Amino acid sequence: MDLTLYLILAHFLADYPLQTNRLAIYKKNHVMGIVLHSFTHFAVSALVLLPFLYETKIWWGILIIFVTHNLFDQIKVTLGKKTKWNPFLLYILDQVGHLVVIYWVSVYYLGKITPQISGIWRFLYTDRTFVSFFLVLVLVTYFYDVSRWTYLNMKTPHPYKRDYRTMARNALIVVIAFVLYWLTRS
């Protein structure tokens, strides 16, 4: 099976709900913050790909993502400090760069791999709607919140504070949509 969706989920989990404000600030001030954040990506990718870790090339794929994530985040921090680049543009370019690497690793390096699991876990890993559900949930909550703040912060700088009310509303809409889909599919 193609692991693109799984690696994208791992990326967005590590970049958003698992990245605290403290870590985001630490990344801007110390290279070790970027390394720590990239290790989070490594660990989350390994957890999401747990049924596939018997393949050596999975570990190499995760390592490629780890190294490039370090590199891209360091470039983003350096450009943000030393140039007048638009912060929102840097943010978008950073995310696009990560997704391009993930796509390349999953499609061209890893290819199709069969999970080494059975029972309900095999169903959950092979029915892509469960992975899609969690991915969409992260996108409409944390990703939306951070992206909105990054854009608005260009015009009126202010500290980041998660908007849990909007995140909960968006999450409820996604949950309802997926539950309706699961109840009505044949």
pLDDT band for position 186 (50/70/90)? low
Which single residue is written with the structure tokens 């190499």? 60
The end-to-end CA distance of the chain, in Å, is 22
Tell whether the model's pLDDT for residue 148 goes beyond 90.
Answer: yes
Task: Please give the average per-residue pLDDT across 153-168, as a whole number.
Answer: 92
Buried b / exposed e across 31-50, counting CB within 10 Å, b at 16+? eebbbebbebbbebbeebbe
Q: Give which of 98, 126, 107, 130 is closest to 16, Cα–Cα.
A: 98
What's the pLDDT score for residue 65? Answer: 97
Would you call 112 helix, strand, or coil by DSSP? Answer: strand
How far apart CA 130 and CA 182 sit, in angstroms, is 10
pLDDT average, residue stretch 164-170? 97
Nearest to 150 by CA among 89, 59, 64: 89
Nearest to 151 by CA among 77, 88, 86: 88
What number is the average pLDDT over the span 119-143? 90
pLDDT at site 84 = 83
Q: Is a pLDDT exceeding 70 seen at residue 115?
A: yes
Q: What integer pLDDT is reported at residue 111 of this predicted model?
A: 86
pLDDT for residue 1 is more than 80: no
Q: Identify which has the larger pLDDT, 85 or 4.
A: 4
Q: Is the pLDDT of residue 119 over 90?
A: no
From the list 21, 12, 126, the residue with the least C-alpha distance to 69 is: 12
For 99, the enclosing helix (H) or strand (E) is helix 87-103
Q: Are 123 and 141 in contact (CB under 8 A)?
A: no
Q: Place 96 in a pLDDT band, splitting at 50, 70 and 90.
A: very high
Q: Round the average pLDDT of the chain to a whole number and report it.
A: 93
Neighbours of 176 (CB within 10 A): 10
- pLDDT, tens digit, for every residue of 4-55? 999 999 999 999 999 988 998 899 899 999 999 999 999 999 999 999 999 9
Query: For 118, phi and psi rounded to 5 degrees?
Result: -140, 175
What's this model's pTM, rounded to 2 decimal places?
Answer: 0.92
